[in-house]
Amino acid sequence: MTIIPNSIEGRDIAYQMHPNVNLRKYEKTGGVVIESGDGIYVFDNNGKRYIEGLAGLWSVAVGFGEKRLVEVARAQMEKLPYYHTFAYKTHGPSIELAEMLIQMAPVPMSKVHFTSSGSEANDLACKMVWYRSNALGNKDKKKIIGRIKGYHGVTIASGSITGLPRNHESFDLPLDRMVHTSCPSYVHFGQENESEAEFTARMLKDLEDLILKEGPETIAAFWGEPVMGAGGVLVPPDGYWEGVQKILKKYDILLVVDEVICGFGRTGNMFACQTYGIEPDVLVLSKQISSSYMPLSAILMNDSFYQPIADESDRIGVFGHGFTASGHPVATAVGLENLKIIQERDLVGNAARLEEQFLSRLSELAKHPVAHSSRGVGLLGALEINPFADGKVGDAALAVAAALEKEGVIARAVGEAICFCPPLIITAEQIDEMFDALQRALDAVA
Ligand code: PLP
């Protein structure tokens, strides 16, 4: 496609450096200009309509164009467009949202601290873990265990906990304090003739071996997404989380659960901690917390995590951390209204009710000659594509994603998988519309 220099696409190439792309390739191809959104659909500048099969970036739970959020943002902008939460000041929207999150939390939590992105939240949770170890006099208990294919963001600490080479290479990551254990994806790492139960046992042994090798007294926390999202929608095998928690308790290691994708209904429960029986010390939330209408994230911590941090701030005189936008009043007001909508419209129930249809359509499509297998939970799923015999890893999934986009559905290719995470407002008919398009895309690639 020829790009006219003065067109919007041309000016985009001329002036904007995009995240997460091959920059040289982008200079040649440019991107699709998305202009507006309505419900589960977005529209490009040529008027083409797409189902947003990934809810933007796994985040727009209530769909695009939700007027209640627009109205709350406008009203808050007029009343108090900005204020901070530093230096003994606070404001209503941040207080109300913090209270609501404590009431909703899947396990008893004591305090909420607001940030603006998932990366910032994980980064700060990591700093808090270190601060707490210092407060308790455990100066050597600082290592963090992440997992291969785990994704927790891109800042220096969160990017180091992330277990994806593409986020490390040439950035001089990960930091030395971060170590990674095996990825519990049976479909990718199960060995020949190994049952799923045997695989789980091996994953747990890998974790315990790593702890013993590093020295349990040096390890502060384990970090994990209940279902790995950006790593390719990797659903944990039965018994995995139960086993992980037993090991962490045995060695006095904190559990930080990253529900940036899973939180607020995605797995058919309000939190994936409920789906998998996980009891975190720290819970990291973002994305669906505000349906990403405003940048917002939150760290929830239990009392035994919070108290030593509070004591240390008393000793030093300050908890020396905070952002200009921590608890931003417009973001927290929008978050609060968004969570009210999720509750009032029972979007969590919608995800639970549609799970069977969503997953069975995917597993039907997995029988297509181009496809290998499917997986998922709630309204989060992936179709694994057979690699091209003569291509690089990921070529086949990229080809399917491109064909799907032509059919009017945006989804995400990760490795050899096509990932789906539609807005929670999706209906049964729209799930069929999305997967009918996938069927045509698979036919086109075959
Ligand atoms: N944690 C998880 C599980 C994520 O999926 C993401 C983003 O996709 C992040 C953290 C980072 O969030 P952000 O992109 O807002 O920094």
Per-residue pLDDT of 79-130, as tens digits, reads 999 999 998 999 999 999 999 999 999 999 999 999 999 999 999 999 999 9
Contact predicate 330/73, CB 8 Å: yes
Q: Is residue 260 lining ligand 1, measured as CB closer than 6 Å?
A: yes
Helix 347-365 vs helix 428-445: angle between axes, to the nearest 10 degrees? Answer: 30
Does 361 or 391 have the greater pLDDT score? 361
Residue of 20, 152, 154, 283 to mutate, ligand 1, most atoms within 8 A of C-beta: 152
Q: Is residue 258 lining ligand 1, measured as CB closer than 6 Å?
A: yes
Stretch 126-141: mean pLDDT: 98
Q: What percent of the chain has pLDDT over 70?
A: 100
Cβ-in-10-Å burial (0-12, 13-18, 19+) of 95 comes to: middle
Q: How far is the CA of 403 from the centre of ligand 1 (A)?
A: 26
| Cα distance between residue 364 and residue 243, in whole Å | 32
Q: Is residue 118 lining ligand 1, measured as CB closer than 6 Å?
A: yes
Q: How far is the CA of 359 from the centre of ligand 1 (A)?
A: 24
**Which atom of ligand 1 is nearest the CA belonging to 229?**
5
Is the per-residue pLDDT at 235 higher than 80? yes
Interacting residues of 286 by C-beta distance below 8 A, sequence separation 6+ = 59, 117, 118, 121, 260, 263, 296, 297, 298
Q: Is residue 281 lining ligand 1, measured as CB closer than 6 Å?
A: no
Neighbours of 28 (CB within 10 A): 10
pLDDT of residue 2: 83
Is the per-residue pLDDT at 141 higher than 90? yes
**Which atom of ligand 1 is nearest the CA belonging to 295?**
15
Q: What is the pLDDT of residues 289-322, one digit of tens each?
A: 999 999 999 999 999 999 999 999 999 999 999 9
Q: What is the pLDDT of residues 9-64, one digit of tens each?
A: 999 999 999 999 999 999 999 999 999 999 999 999 999 999 999 999 999 999 99
Interacting residues of 401 by C-beta distance below 8 A, sequence separation 6+ = 411, 412, 413, 418
The 3-class secondary structure across the chain, one letter per residue, is CCCCCCCHHHHHHHHCCCCCCCHHHHHHHCCCCEEEEEECEEEECCCCEEEECCHHHHCCCCCECCHHHHHHHHHHHHHCCCCCCCCCCCCHHHHHHHHHHHHHCCCCCCEEEEECCHHHHHHHHHHHHHHHHHHCCCCCCCEEEEECCCCCCCCHHHHHHCCCHHHCCCCCCCCCCEEEECCCCHHHHCCCCCCHHHHHHHHHHHHHHHHHHHCHHHEEEEEECCCECCCCCECCCCCHHHHHHHHHHHCCCEEEEECCCCCCCCCCCCCHHHHHCCCCCEEEECHHHCCCCCCCEEEEECHHHHHHHHHHHHHHCCCCCCCCCCCCHHHHHHHHHHHHHHHHCCHHHHHHHHHHHHHHHHHHHCCCCCEEEEEEECCEEEEEECCCCCCCCCHHHHHHHHHHHHCCEECEEECCEEEECCCCCCCHHHHHHHHHHHHHHHHHHC
pLDDT of residue 251: 98
Q: How far is the CA of 162 from the centre of ligand 1 (A)?
A: 10
Q: What is the pLDDT of residues 180-215, one digit of tens each?
A: 999 999 999 999 999 999 999 999 999 999 999 999
Is the per-residue pLDDT at 284 higher than 80? yes
> 174 preceded by cis ω (within 30°)?
yes
Is the per-residue pLDDT at 1 higher than 80? no
| Nearest CA, atom 8, ligand 1 | 230
Task: Scan for tokens 């064909």, then name that residue.
Answer: 403
Q: Give the chain's length.
A: 446
pLDDT band at 3 (very low <50, low <70, confident <90, very high): confident
* Residues paired with 179 in a beta bridge: 145
Q: Is residue 261 lining ligand 1, measured as CB closer than 6 Å?
A: yes
pLDDT of residue 390: 86
Q: Is residue 153 lining ligand 1, measured as CB closer than 6 Å?
A: yes
Q: Which of 58, 11, 17, 62 is nearest to 33 (CA)?
A: 11
pLDDT of residue 304: 98
Query: Residues 200, 153, 144, CA angle at the centre, nearest 5°?
Result: 55
| Cα distance between residue 416 and residue 232, in whole Å | 8
**Which atom of ligand 1 is nearest the CA belonging to 259?**
3
- Provide the ipTM: 0.99
Average pLDDT, the chain: 97
Q: What percent of the chain has pLDDT over 90?
A: 97
Residue of 59, 234, 287, 292 to mutate, ligand 1, most atoms within 8 A of C-beta: 287
| Cα distance between residue 423 and residue 443, in whole Å | 26
pLDDT band at 386 (very low <50, low <70, confident <90, very high): very high
Q: What is the pLDDT of residues 144-167, one digit of tens each?
A: 999 999 999 999 999 999 999 999
pLDDT of residue 44: 98
Type of residue numbered 61: A
Q: How far is the CA of 273 from the centre of ligand 1 (A)?
A: 17
Sheet containing strand 417-420, edge to edge, reads 371-377, 380-385, 417-420, 412-414
Q: pTM here? A: 0.98
**Which atom of ligand 1 is nearest the CA belonging to 287?**
15
Q: How far is the CA of 78 from the centre of ligand 1 (A)?
A: 30
